């Protein structure tokens, strides 16, 4: 049913740290690799070896420049489904193929019933829906539902593929409905924010902003050791320095 | 947004069909068009043809058309589903109207005609609401959009009905309606364009809010995730060139105006002579609406483009 | 994490989700080779196909993470560009006309050519192995063959870093050292986009950030790592040396110097003879046993290693033999206190404000001297003194090709090591640390082998080794080079990694001599590893008057249809990294880190579906066919059954083999021990790696840590357990300089070379403008042009990967917005990038995070049409462009008769890719929007099917 379930207590999602993301694309390719053989796979690639190559990806990494001059920054910015709390991608779906799970809030597509109308993609502000033009159905980030609950995978690795692979540790997974969870605390401490809050979709995923430069207030070297260059021989000060090996 | 031909055709053809069905049902009941069953059958057939062609064309847009029936299930939340239900439901009174006309059952024809007219309005409204309900597309999420769908469907329907009625020498009422709605369409479209051309409201999403990087400063895309086009960029970031847009807008308005003027000119003319003007008027109205519909997509910007071009 | 007891769950709209399906039906561990980082991977297989590759959480290199390339390995494994069978050229070189042949025939052809060379003049084989991870085998094979002409890609890669480090601190940035990610409070990175330590650096940066350390990136471009730096210093390319020397100037000027560290661990107090014009000028004063002397304030000249002595670090001292000498420290201080290195003097050239340089020096000094890190861990130094704790200066540095790929890179890198030394920040807590098996003696081992090559005779020793002075150079009596690439000659005395970038050009010109067979492995020399691909292709296809090729035979082993394949006569198609055995050996480029030495293997996880063979297998069989002594038994039969047999049973020295782990009959010995027939099995059981964890007392001060050095010697990592004294002042360099000044038996042959050696073999770090820029009028070429590695592509071979090529299918030229504005250029304009050497056409992209005098692009995204089994209309070949077309492998000739010097560092021969200067102009309106040069499309070799248009499931 594409009517939204009552808000779940558990809100599984990702927290992405823009302060540490180096834009390495590991999350994007690892996601593709896991998911092409996973629940919503395959993730086909059209014109794979010629002009116009394009495929289905659940995670895409942009880069931006923000601010000017000294304050300017380059920011790498991974973008995938935010598993919104009030996502119109679900409610607009005419078939019920698009749904939000009552138990953990994961937004999924049932590719057995999807007609590939594309309306949910229109409804998603974040561009998180991916049309599989080969199969004619809509696909999207599953939050790796086939990993995070997978008992055949060792417990510590039961996390989304993009999270376990991220080399700098810029991606975190957990229950954002639980204020005491590691991810919720991260969001609180680092000022995690929503993308396009004005759209009213209430994304579950949060982004952590680039941090301020660490404050450094060392005493100036001038005050510490004034040794004007024009004294006749600056080496003299080391002449009588008692050193011991 | 990408003006997919299947959708542009669909909304134009089925809009025209529903408009025609609406006026047929309504005006017949009010006795303002020829009561002849032959006229009714002819108009109805044309309407159903356009509607069915449109619906079939819309199936082409689906990745899995064979599953289209599933789209009827979610009417409680989905305007697309509602549209499907309304469209299918409208076939019932329309079909009965056909029977009633064939059998010459006037009361039934009147009743089913009115019901079919109501179905037509409902369907077109749903179509409009599919677009109007999307907060992601500023140019669609606009109060004039569903009304526009109704007005254009009505305009085109009346413009089609008029030449048919002219064959019976009774084109006057539909021609007047067509002319009125033609003028209305011009006014509406101009108002709509004024409105979407106005500076974006401060609350509209920006690249800064889409990325949250506004806290650092003005934000500019450096590199896209993929260097080539993708389904997403083709679908959501299609944008008609400015010069092209201006031309198409002018063409649309000219078309509306021409159809309106032709309908007005046809008013004093008797029967078949009127048809000589009303047929091109109908054709021009339909063509202009095709252009309008194409623009409706090509002018629309999706919030996704904020991520790609920094602008939407 | 999420709890569930149900393996299958009903959710949503009646959908059944299999949430607990096994990933595949089998899993094997091995080592990634989507780049040279050597991460541990777990390869999940399903129905015999690769299903999913994940990082091995137990692996010391990557600890479970994978990068963007590693995660896409599956698509390289199934790339439609994989070569399928040995090929013999049947048309002209470059035509792509080949016939598929059997391995038997291929081996016979190769053996025939090689045998003839070996029997007559082995040096006429040039064996260059590119991006080789098996150099301990390939180098050994070359020595067995008897040719001095062997090297891998290091000469065009990063030998400046290796040489500067090994001749200064006995380790280096790059692969032989790493920052103390756990303790550093301040981290400065110079010129790094990705590096070989791809995942460890990323993991480390994550750790630094989590701890709130400050991260400064010195780089003309603000992307990738620089993007997450707390401070970006957008330096002008090639000026880092000045910038670093200005930092040193500031520290000296304000006396923020760790003098205790200097006299304990470096040669700061060693005495340097002052005898202008004399043959001993600038050499260390030594005692009768050759031990360097220092000046004790009470006792005068004595062994510099004497414990508890009170060394003088300034002052002119008269030696017992009457000569005068000054301590190294004084020479160093005099040089860098000069006004030439004051921040104000360098700011303009570096493009970094003097105030910023001063502030950075202040911050560095503050952290180093006021925020020390203490680890409560006693240790004992080489003098037998016990220290109760380890105190460190938590300032770490890392540098790579941004420094290395300039012709002044060797000295710049030495300057950076000097900065580390005066801060006392070498292998102390919080600083840069050695990766075991480093540190090694400075310089390590004997000089390079290669003199006296004779038919049918192996060369004794290592071909790539370490000259200590002119006597170790590979030059004839007339000073001319012994090696075809001129490595270890007066052109490049410390060319430790050879000079692969000059081989084809030199062989083509017969300078110093012609060769018979060019044998290459894993190097795309006709494209991105050539400094000038057009010229390389010209040399490879050039014929003599009789119509024969100037380079008569070219044998090449590639695994894929690269741009170089069509230019070989014989193609030996290799397996992929998931299909073969490999050995990542301590004898070559191991996987050790600061926590201890380690090595690794690859095991085949899937069987090849083509007629291909692992190159190492082929080499071992060739060795046997040629009768190379180490590869045959006494009766002439092959000594090794296959490569695994070699890995396990070959012994370089008694007890020392390719793998250091699980040695000895029962597998309990480390480093040294008899071969263990179960060794590979033991590696496989351990995740395909071996790691020795150093005990806590050995983790720092390795250069002077008694326990560490003793254990390292016992394990065969080093020959002697003596303290490794860090070399501020480099005596080997001074020896070369003395030769150039007319001393000694071996001297540079001509005036030009003499002048170069005298100038550039300075025993203390110097800065000079990049040679390329000294040699021609740069005014018409106002912009520096550099490249960066994209994190998700590995050189040229990413584009055959259907996923990676979607991420970057074409590259643009990035330019500062204001510069573009001044030049009247706009985003996406088609432009010409012109240098003194050539021009290339591409599209422009504007940004703010780039030095305004610099343009840059992604390396090796541009491809030759048709290569890699991509359709010729692919963006890689139409919009992508290769900057190399504008680079030259030779320096501009200064005088008409000037001899030709490589466009390289004059000390190490490191290719100077980043010295390039260009101008950028807008293409005319009628010029087609396609890159240029745009050589004609390459023909697919026989046997290679056209690539599929759609990929659903990888490998299906
Ligand atoms: N402009 C510019 N040019 C540069 C650089 C730069 O920074 N800027 N960097 C330089 C540096 S540092 C380097 S190291 C070079 C690298 O450049 P190359 O040495 O050319 O390296 P690759 O492109 O990685 O590819 C080498 C070849 O190895 C093949 N190959 C891949 N896997 C296998 C395998 O398993 N077996 C075999 N036999 N072959 C295989 C590939 O198909 C390819 O043809 O580029 C240099 N060129
Ligand atoms: N993903 C990926 N990883 C790789 C490779 C790959 O192809 N792809 N190649 C591997 C190889 S062979 C190598 S050699 C290493 C090289 O690893 P890196 O050293 O990281 O290689 P480059 O991409 O050459 O990066 C050089 C950096 O120096 C900057 N730079 C250029 N000139 C200057 C300068 O004068 N001063 C300063 N401070 N910076 C400067 C450039 O902007 C760039 O960021 O990477 C290895 N790892
Ligand atoms: S893997 Fe991590 S660092 Fe790399 S792009 Fe993704 S989020 Fe950024
Ligand atoms: S990000 Fe888009 S696809 Fe995902 S839940 Fe929100 S609206 Fe739906
Ligand atoms: S594409 Fe599929 S999931 Fe999306 S709205 Fe249409 S039917 Fe629903
Ligand atoms: S959670 Fe899984 S599906 Fe979603 S982006 Fe990450 S890896 Fe892809
Ligand atoms: S850094 Fe990436 S490509 Fe390189 S070895 Fe590691 S996982 Fe493989
Ligand atoms: Mo390299």
Three-class secondary structure assignment of C550-600: CCCEEEEECCECCCCHHHCCEECCCCCCCCCCEEECCCCCCCCECCECEEE
Kindly determine whether residue B226 and residue C806, on different chains, have CB atoms separated by under 8 Å: yes
Q: Is the CB of A124 under 6 A from ligand 6?
A: no
Query: Tell me, what's the pLDDT at A170?
Result: 98
Residue A93: which domain range?
12-208
Query: What does the pLDDT look like over C588-635, one tens digit per residue?
Result: 888 999 999 999 999 999 999 999 999 999 999 999 999 999 999 999
Kindly determine whether residue B228 and residue C808, on different chains, have CB atoms separated by under 8 Å: no
Query: Tell me, what's the pLDDT at C390?
Result: 98
pLDDT band at C835 (very low <50, low <70, confident <90, very high): very high
The yes-or-no verdict on residue C798 having pLDDT over 50 is yes
Smallest CA–CA distance from A135 into chain C, residue: C952
Residue A222 maps to a domain: no
Q: Is the CB of A34 under 6 A from ligand 4?
A: no
Query: Tell me, what's the pLDDT at C13?
Result: 59
pTM reported for the whole predicted model: 0.97
| Interface mutation vs chain C, best among A100, A156, A238, most C CBs within 10 Å | A238
Ordered alpha helix ranges (H), C775-862:
804-807, 817-823
pLDDT band at A3 (very low <50, low <70, confident <90, very high): confident
Residue A213 maps to a domain: no
Kindly determine whether residue C809 and residue B225, on different chains, have CB atoms separated by under 8 Å: no
Among A65, A96, A242, whose Cβ lies nearest the Cβ of C13?
A96
State the smallest CA–CA distance between residue C363 and chain A in angstroms: 6
Query: Tell me, what's the pLDDT at A226?
Result: 47
Say if residue C795 is preceded by a cis peptide, omega within 30 of 0. Answer: no
- What's the mean pLDDT in C800-819? 98
- List domains and CATH numbers for chain B: 5-62+70-307 (1.20.1630.10)
Query: What does the pLDDT look like over A141-157, one tens digit per residue?
Result: 999 999 999 999 999 99
Query: Which atom of ligand 5 is closest in space to residue A92's alpha carbon?
Result: 5
Query: Tell me, what's the pLDDT at C7?
Result: 37
Mutate to test the pocket of ligand 1, among C529, C557, C563 (most ligand atoms within 8 A of CB): C529
DSSP state of C939: P
Residue A38 maps to a domain: yes
Residue A106 maps to a domain: yes
Are C295 and C317 in contact by the 8 Å Cβ rule? The answer is: yes
Mutate to test the pocket of ligand 1, among C33, C528, C578, C583 (most ligand atoms within 8 A of CB): C528
Question: What is the rounded distance in angstroms from the CA atom of residue C198 to the CA atom of residue C789?
Answer: 11
Query: What does the pLDDT look like over C727-742, one tens digit per residue?
Result: 999 999 999 999 999 9
Q: What are phi and psi of C932, to 5 degrees?
A: -155, 135
List chains adjacent to chain B, taking adjacency as at least 3 C-beta pairs closer than 8 Å. A, C
The reply to whether A42 touches chain C by the CB within 8 Å rule is yes
Question: What is the rounded distance in angstroms from the CA atom of residue B9 to the CA atom of residue B16?
Answer: 10
Q: Which residues in chain B are closer than 8 Å to A193, comparing Cβ atoms? A: 212
Query: What does the pLDDT look like over C431-460, one tens digit per residue?
Result: 999 999 999 999 998 999 999 999 999 999
Query: Tell me, what's the pLDDT at C459?
Result: 97
Q: Which residues pair with C843 in a beta bridge?
A: C830
The reply to whether B228 touches chain C by the CB within 8 Å rule is yes
Mutate to test the pocket of ligand 1, among C559, C563, C788, C911 (most ligand atoms within 8 A of CB): C559
The yes-or-no verdict on residue C4 having pLDDT over 80 is no
Query: Tell me, what's the pLDDT at C292?
Result: 98
Q: Is the CB of A116 under 6 A from ligand 3?
A: no
State the smallest CA–CA distance between residue B230 and chain C in angstroms: 9
Question: What is the rounded distance in angstroms from the CA atom of residue C805 to the CA atom of residue C528?
Answer: 17
Q: Is the CB of C793 under 6 A from ligand 2?
A: yes
Q: Which residues of B219-258 are buried (b: 16+ CB within 10 A; e: fewer)?
A: bbbbbbbbbbebbbbebbbbbbeeeeeeebbeebbebbbb
The yes-or-no verdict on residue A231 having pLDDT over 60 is no
Query: What does the pLDDT look like over C204-213, one tens digit per residue?
Result: 999 999 999 9
Q: Is the CB of A59 under 6 A from ligand 6?
A: yes
ipTM of the complex: 0.96
| Interface mutation vs chain C, best among B222, B231, B311, most C CBs within 10 Å | B222
Query: Tell me, what's the pLDDT at C174?
Result: 81
Q: Which residues pair with A80 in a beta bridge?
A: A59
Q: A121: domain CATH number? A: 3.30.70.20
Q: Is the CB of A145 under 6 A from ligand 4?
A: no
Query: Tell me, what's the pLDDT at C34?
Result: 96
Query: Tell me, what's the pLDDT at B239?
Result: 85
Kindly determine whether residue A29 and residue C214, on different chains, have CB atoms separated by under 8 Å: no
Mean pLDDT of chain C: 96
The reply to whether C951 touches chain B by the CB within 8 Å rule is no
Query: What does the pLDDT look like over C79-94, one tens digit per residue?
Result: 999 999 999 999 999 9
- What's the mean pLDDT in C914-939? 97
Question: What is the rounded distance in angstroms from the CA atom of residue A49 to the CA atom of residue C80?
Answer: 9
Query: Tell me, what's the pLDDT at C897?
Result: 58
Q: Is the CB of C62 under 6 A from ligand 7?
A: yes
Question: What is the rounded distance in angstroms from the CA atom of residue C87 to the CA atom of residue C871?
Answer: 22
Kindly determine whether residue A229 and residue C253, on different chains, have CB atoms separated by under 8 Å: yes
Residue A245 maps to a domain: no
Give percent above pLDDT 70 in chain C.
98
Query: What does the pLDDT look like over C222-236, one tens digit per residue?
Result: 999 999 999 999 999
Mutate to test the pocket of ligand 3, among A166, A169, A172, A208 (most ligand atoms within 8 A of CB): A166
The reply to whether A19 touches chain C by the CB within 8 Å rule is yes
Q: Is the CB of A206 under 6 A from ligand 4?
A: no
Query: Tell me, what's the pLDDT at C10?
Result: 46
Query: Tell me, what's the pLDDT at A212?
Result: 84
Kindly determine whether residue A110 and residue C950, on different chains, have CB atoms separated by under 8 Å: no
Q: What are phi and psi of A59, to 5 degrees?
A: -150, 125
Instruction: Indicate the range of A7-11, B17-21, C242-246, C262-266 predicted with least confidence.
Output: A7-11
Query: Tell me, what's the pLDDT at C2?
Result: 42
pLDDT band at A219 (very low <50, low <70, confident <90, very high): low
Count of structural domains within chain A = 1
**Ligand 1 lining (C-beta closer than 6 Å):** C 130-131, 153, 156-157, 521-524, 528-529, 557-560, 562, 564, 574, 576-577, 615, 787, 794-797, 859-860, 883-884, 913
The yes-or-no verdict on residue C136 having pLDDT over 90 is yes
CA distances from C282 to A243, C302, C732 (A): 24, 18, 10
Query: What does the pLDDT look like over A163-188, one tens digit per residue?
Result: 999 999 999 999 999 999 999 999 99
pLDDT band at C893 (very low <50, low <70, confident <90, very high): confident
Query: What does the pLDDT look like over A55-105, one tens digit per residue?
Result: 999 999 999 999 999 899 999 999 999 999 999 999 999 999 999 999 999
> Could you tell me the distance, in angstroms and rounded to a whole number, from the CA of residue C105 to the centre of ligand 6?
49
- What's the mean pLDDT in C548-562? 98
pLDDT lower than 50: segments of chain B: none
Q: DSSP labels for C193-238?
A: SS-SSHHHHHHHHHHHHHHT-EEEEE-SB-SHHHHT-SEEE-PPTT
Q: Which residues in chain A are closer than 8 Å to B220, comparing Cβ atoms? A: 64-66
Question: Which residues in chain A (147-206) have CB-CB distances under 8 A to chain B?
Answer: 193-200
Closest residue by Cα to atom 5, ligand 5, is A93
Q: Is the CB of A78 under 6 A from ligand 3?
A: yes
Query: Tell me, what's the pLDDT at A230?
Result: 52
Smallest CA–CA distance from B225 into chain C, residue: C807
Residue A170 maps to a domain: yes
Question: What is the rounded distance in angstroms from the CA atom of residue C306 to the CA atom of residue C595?
Answer: 30
Residue A225 maps to a domain: no
The yes-or-no verdict on residue A222 having pLDDT over 60 is no
Query: What does the pLDDT look like over C287-339, one tens digit per residue?
Result: 999 999 999 999 999 999 999 999 999 999 999 999 999 999 999 999 999 99
Query: Tell me, what's the pLDDT at C1?
Result: 42
CA distances from C717 to A199, C141, C162, C596, C598 (A): 62, 22, 17, 11, 11
Smallest CA–CA distance from C804 into chain B, residue: B226
Closest residue by Cα to atom 5, ligand 3, is A23
Q: Which ligand has the shortest distance to the CA of C351?
A: 2
Q: Which residues pair with C373 in a beta bridge?
A: C392
Residue A2 maps to a domain: no
Query: What does the pLDDT look like over A19-53, one tens digit per residue?
Result: 999 999 999 999 999 999 999 999 999 999 999 99
Q: Is the CB of A142 under 6 A from ligand 6?
A: yes
Are C190 and C240 in contact by the 8 Å Cβ rule? The answer is: yes
């Amino acid at each position: 049913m594409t009517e939204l379930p009552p808000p779940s207590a558990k809100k599984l999602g990702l927290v992405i740290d823009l302060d540490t993301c180096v834009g390495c694309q590991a999350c994007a390719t690892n996601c593709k690799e896991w998911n092409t053989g996973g629940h919503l796979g395959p993730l086909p690639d059209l014109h794979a070896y010629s002009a116009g190559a394009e495929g289905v990806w659940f995670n895409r990494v942009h880069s931006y420049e923000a601010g000017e001059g000294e304050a300017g920054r380059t920011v790498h910015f991974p973008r995938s489904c935010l598993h919104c709390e009030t996502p119109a991608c679900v409610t607009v779906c005419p078939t019920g193929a698009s749904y939000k799970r009552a138990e953990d809030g994961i937004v999924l597509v049932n590719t057995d019933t999807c007609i590939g109308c594309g309306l949910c993609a229109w409804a998603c502000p974040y561009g998180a829906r991916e049309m599989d033009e080969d199969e004619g159905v809509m696909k999207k980030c599953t939050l790796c539902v086939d990993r995070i609950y997978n008992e055949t995978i060792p417990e510590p690795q039961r996390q989304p593929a993009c999270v376990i692979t991220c080399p700098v540790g810029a991606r975190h997974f957990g229950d954002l409905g639980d204020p005491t969870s590691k991810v919720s605390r991260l969001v609180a401490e680092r000022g995690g924010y929503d993308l396009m809050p004005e759209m009213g979709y209430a994304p579950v995923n949060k982004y952590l902003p680039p941090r301020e430069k660490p404050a450094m207030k060392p005493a100036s070297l001038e005050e510490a050791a004034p040794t004007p260059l024009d004294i006749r021989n600056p080496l003299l000060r080391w002449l009588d320095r008692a050193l011991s090996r | 947004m990408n003006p997919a031909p299947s959708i542009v055709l669909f909304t134009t053809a089925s809009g025209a069909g529903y408009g025609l069905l609406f006026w047929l049902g309504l005006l017949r009941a009010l006795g303002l068009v020829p009561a002849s069953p032959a006229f009714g059958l002819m108009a109805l057939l044309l309407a159903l043809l356009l509607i069915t062609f449109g619906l079939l064309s819309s199936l082409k847009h689906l990745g899995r058309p064979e599953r289209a029936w599933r789209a009827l299930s979610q009417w409680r939340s989905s305007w697309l589903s509602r549209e499907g239900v309304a469209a299918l439901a409208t076939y019932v009174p329309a079909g009965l109207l056909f029977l009633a006309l064939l059998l010459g059952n006037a009361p039934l024809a009147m009743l089913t005609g009115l019901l079919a007219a109501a179905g037509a309005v409902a369907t077109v409204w749903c179509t409009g609401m599919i677009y109007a309900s999307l907060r992601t597309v500023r140019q669609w999420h606009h109060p004039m959009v569903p009304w526009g769908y109704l007005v254009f469907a009505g305009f085109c329907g009346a413009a089609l009905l008029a030449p048919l009625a002219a064959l019976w020498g009774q084109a006057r009422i539909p021609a007047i309606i067509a002319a009125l709605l033609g003028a209305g369409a011009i006014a509406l479209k101009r108002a709509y364009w004024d409105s979407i051309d106005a500076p974006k409201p401060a609350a509209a999403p920006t690249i800064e809010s889409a990325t949250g990087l506004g806290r650092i400063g003005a934000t500019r895309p450096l590199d896209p995730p993929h260097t080539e086009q993708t389904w997403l960029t083709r679908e959501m970031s299609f944008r008609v060139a400015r010069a092209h847009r201006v031309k198409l807008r002018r063409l649309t308005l000219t078309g509306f105006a021409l159809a309106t003027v032709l309908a007005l000119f046809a008013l004093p003319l008797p029967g078949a002579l009127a048809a000589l003007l009303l047929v091109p008027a109908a054709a021009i109205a339909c063509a202009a609406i095709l252009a309008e519909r194409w623009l409706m997509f090509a002018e629309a910007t999706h919030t996704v483009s904020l991520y790609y071009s920094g602008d939407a | 994490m999420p709890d569930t007891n149900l393996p299958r769950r009903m959710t949503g709209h009646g959908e059944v989700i299999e949430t607990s399906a096994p990933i595949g039906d089998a899993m094997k561990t091995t080592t990634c080779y989507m780049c040279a980082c050597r991460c541990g991977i777990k390869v999940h297989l399903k129905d015999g196909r690769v299903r999913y590759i994940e990082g091995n959480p137990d692996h010391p290199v990557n600890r479970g993470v994978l990068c963007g390339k590693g995660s896409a390995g599956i698509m390289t494994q199934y790339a439609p560009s994989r070569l399928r069978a040995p090929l013999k050229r049947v048309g002209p070189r470059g035509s792509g006309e080949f016939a598929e042949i059997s391995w038997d025939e291929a081996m016979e052809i190769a053996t025939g050519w090689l045998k003839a060379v070996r029997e007559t003049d082995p040096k006429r084989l040039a064996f260059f192995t590119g991006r080789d991870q098996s150099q301990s085998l390939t180098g050994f094979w070359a020595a067995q063959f008897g040719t001095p002409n062997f090297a891998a890609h290091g000469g065009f890669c990063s030998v400046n870093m290796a040489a500067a480090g090994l001749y200064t601190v006995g380790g280096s940035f790059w692969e032989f050292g790493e920052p103390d990610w756990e303790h550093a409070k301040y981290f400065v990175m110079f010129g790094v986009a990705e590096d070989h330590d791809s995942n460890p650096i990323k993991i480390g940066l994550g750790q630094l950030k989590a701890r709130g350390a400050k991260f400064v990136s010195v780089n003309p471009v603000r992307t990738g790592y620089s993007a997450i730096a707390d401070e970006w210093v957008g330096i002008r390319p090639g000026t880092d040396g000045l910038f670093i020397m200005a930092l040193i100037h500031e520290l000296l000027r304000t006396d923020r110097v760790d003098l205790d560290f200097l006299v304990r661990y470096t040669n700061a107090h060693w005495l340097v003879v002052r005898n202008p014009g004399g043959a001993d000028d600038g050499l260390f004063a030594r005692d009768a046993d050759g031990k360097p002397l220092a000046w004790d304030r009470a006792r005068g000249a004595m062994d510099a290693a004497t414990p508890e002595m009170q060394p003088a670090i300034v002052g002119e001292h008269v030696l017992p033999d009457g000569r005068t000498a000054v301590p190294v420290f004084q020479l160093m201080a005099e040089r860098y206190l000069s006004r030439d290195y004051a921040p104000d003097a360098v700011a303009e050239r570096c493009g970094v404000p003097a105030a910023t340089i001063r502030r950075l020096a202040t911050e560095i000094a503050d952290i180093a001297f006021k925020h020390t890190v203490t680890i409560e861990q006693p240790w004992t130094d080489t003098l037998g003194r016990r220290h109760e704790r380890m105190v460190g200066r938590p300032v770490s540095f890392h540098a790579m090709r941004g420094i290395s790929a300039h012709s002044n890179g060797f000295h710049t890198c030495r300057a950076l090591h000097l900065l580390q030394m005066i801060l006392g920040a070498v292998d102390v807590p919080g600083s840069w640390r050695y990766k075991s098996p480093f540190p090694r003696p400075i310089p390590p081992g004997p000089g390079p082998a290669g003199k006296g090559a004779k038919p049918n005779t192996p060369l004794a020793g290592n071909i790539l080794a370490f000259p200590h002075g002119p006597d170790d150079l590979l030059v004839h009596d007339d000073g001319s080079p012994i090696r075809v690439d001129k490595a270890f000659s007066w052109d490049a005395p410390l060319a430790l990694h050879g000079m692969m970038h000059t081989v084809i050009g030199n062989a083509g010109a017969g300078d110093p001599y012609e060769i018979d067979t060019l044998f290459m492995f894993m190097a795309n020399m006709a494209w991105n590893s050539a400094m000038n691909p057009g010229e390389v292709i010209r040399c490879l296809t050039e014929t003599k008057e009789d119509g024969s090729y100037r380079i008569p035979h070219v044998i090449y082993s590639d695994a894929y249809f690269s741009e170089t394949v069509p230019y070989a006569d014989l193609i030996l198609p290799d397996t992929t990294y998931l299909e073969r055995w490999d050995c990542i050996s301590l004898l070559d480029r191991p996987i050790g880190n600061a926590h201890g030495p380690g090595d690794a293997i690859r095991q085949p996880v899937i069987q090849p579906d083509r007629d291909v063979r692992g190159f190492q297998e082929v080499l071992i069989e060739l060795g046997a066919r040629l009768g190379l002594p180490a590869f045959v038994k006494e009766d002439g039969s092959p000594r090794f059954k296959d490569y695994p047999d070699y890995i396990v049973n070959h012994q370089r020295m008694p007890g020392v083999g390719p793998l250091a782990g699980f040695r000895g009959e029962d597998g309990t010995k480390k480093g040294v021990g008899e071969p263990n027939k179960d060794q590979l099995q033991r590696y496989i059981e351990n995740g395909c790696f071996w790691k020795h964890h150093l005990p806590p007392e050995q983790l720092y001060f390795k250069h002077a840590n008694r326990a560490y050095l003793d254990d390292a010697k016992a394990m065969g990592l080093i020959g002697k357990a003596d303290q490794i004294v860090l070399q501020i002042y480099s005596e080997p360099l001074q020896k070369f300089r003395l030769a150039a000044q007319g001393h000694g038996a071996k001297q540079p042959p001509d005036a030009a070379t003499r002048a170069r050696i005298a100038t550039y073999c300075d025993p203390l770090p110097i800065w000079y403008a990049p040679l390329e820029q000294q040699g021609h009028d740069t005014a018409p070429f106002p912009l520096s042009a550099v490249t960066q590695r994209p994190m998700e592509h590995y050189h040229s071979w990413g584009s055959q990967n259907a996923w990676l090529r979607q991420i970057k299918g074409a590259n643009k030229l990035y330019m500062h917005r204001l510069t573009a504005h001044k030049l009247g250029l706009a985003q996406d304009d088609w432009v010409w990038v012109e240098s003194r050497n050539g021009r290339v056409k591409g599209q422009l992209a504007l940004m703010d995070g780039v030095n305004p005098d610099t343009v840059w692009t992604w390396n090796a995204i541009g491809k030759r049409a048709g290569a890699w089994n991509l359709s010729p209309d692919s963006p890689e070949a139409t919009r992508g462009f290769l900057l190399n077309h504008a680079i030259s492998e030779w320096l501009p000739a200064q005088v008409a008769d000037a001899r030709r010097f490589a466009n390289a560092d004059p000390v190490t021969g490191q290719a100077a890719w980043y010295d390039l200067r260009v101008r950028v102009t807008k293409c005319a309106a009628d010029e087609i929007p396609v890159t240029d040069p745009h050589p004609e499309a390459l023909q697919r070799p026989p046997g290679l099917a056209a690539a599929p248009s759609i990929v659903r499931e990888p490998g299906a």
